[in-house]
A = this chain, B = another copy of it.
C-alpha cells in the first residue's frame, strides 16, 4: 500500500548512467538537457570510429568508439555488434552504476495529456524503485502507484511484491512496428496515452524495445546482452528482442519483476521500412522457433546467479536453436564471451577509464 505514504522520487544521480548508442543530432541532448544534465552519459558510437560525435557543453560523458571497444575487450570485442545500435550493451558493461537508462537519439521529450513535458527518467526510477507483481495480475495495474492499491481478491501473501529488474517505457507518435506493419500502415501514429504501469506476469514473454528502457544493472545487467547484429550478421532489429526474451526467462527464474507502460517518449521518425525488412526478414521466420524455445526454457535450480543462468541459456540456445540456423551457434558462443567480458570488467570493482573523451 505504497500509495498511503508517497515520498519524493530520489534522483539516483550517483547511481544511474544513461547509455546512448549514438548521437546523430545535437537537438537530442539539448531537448533532454533539463532531465539528463545531472547524470553521467555513456555514448557508444555505433559506426565509423573516425566520425566525430559532438556533445554539447555541460554534459558529463564518456564516449567509446569501435577502436576503444577493441582495445578494452581485445579478442572478446567480437561479442559486441558493429554498425548497429546493439553495440549499446557495451555501455552496460563498462558502467559501474546500479541503474541504467538507455534511449535512442530519435526519441524526444513527450507531453502528457495535460500538455506537460514528461520526465521519462523520473518515471523509470519510480518503476525500478517500487516492487513488481509478477505472480498475480492486479486489475488496477501497478498497486504501488499513488491512488492505486491491490484489489479485492489479491492474495495478501503476495503484496510485498518482487524486486523490479526492468522498466520498459513506451513511445508516442511513431510506434515500434516491424517492417511489414510499417509498410502496411505508413501513416499510423500512436496517439493513445495509456496512464498505466504494469508487471508482465511470470511465464509471459513480451517484445522488449530498447528505445526507452531502464533496468537495475546490479540485478539483471549480465542478461542485457543485445546479441550479434549489424555488420557481418544475417539479422538486425532483434537485438533488444533477444535481450528481452533472455532477460525475462532469467527474471522469471530468479523471481524478479519486469514492468511496462509509462513513461512515454516522443519517437520522432520511423526508420526506413525497406531497410528494416532486409534486416528483419530472417528474424521474422526464425522467431517462430525462438518463441517456443524461450517459452519452454527451464533453468535448473542450481543456477543462482544471472551469469550462471545466462551461460546455461547459451548452452540451450546452441543445442536447440543451432538446428534452426548456424547463426545461433555463433550467437551462443558470443553469449558466453559476453559473460566472460562482463566478469572481467566487473570483477575488480574498478571503473574503466579508457574512454576517448571525458
Contact = CB atoms under 8 A, between A and B. Distances in A.
Interface string A146-158: 0111111111111
Binding site secondary structure of chain A: loop
A288 B155 contact: yes
A203 interface: yes
A289 to B, nearest CB: 10
A112 B157 CA distance: 34
Nearest to A280: B152
Interface string A281-299: 0001001100100000000
Contact of A151 (B201, B207, B287, B291): B207
A16 B195 CA distance: 31
A200 interface: yes
A92 interface: no
Identical chains in the assembly: 2
A228 B296 CA distance: 38
Contacts of A203: 201-204
A196 interface: yes
A61 interface: no
Interface string A135-171: 0111111000001111111111110000000001010
Central interface residue in A113, A185, A201, by most chain B CB within 10 Å: A201
A184 interface: yes
B206 A287 contact: no
B241 A291 contact: no
Contact of A195 (B153, B177, B185, B195): B195
Contact of A177 (B152, B157, B181, B190): B152
Given A1-B181, A209-B152, A170 B260 contact: no
Nearest to A152: B178
A49 interface: no
Interface string A197-225: 01011111111110000000000000000
A3 interface: yes
Given A139-B168, A148-B190, A152-B237, 6 more contacts: A1-B181, A4-B185, A151-B176, A152-B178, A201-B204, A203-B204
A325 interface: no
A189 B148 CA distance: 9
A202 to B, nearest CB: 8
A188 interface: yes
A322 interface: no
A193 B196 CA distance: 9
A251 to B, nearest CB: 14
A194 interface: yes
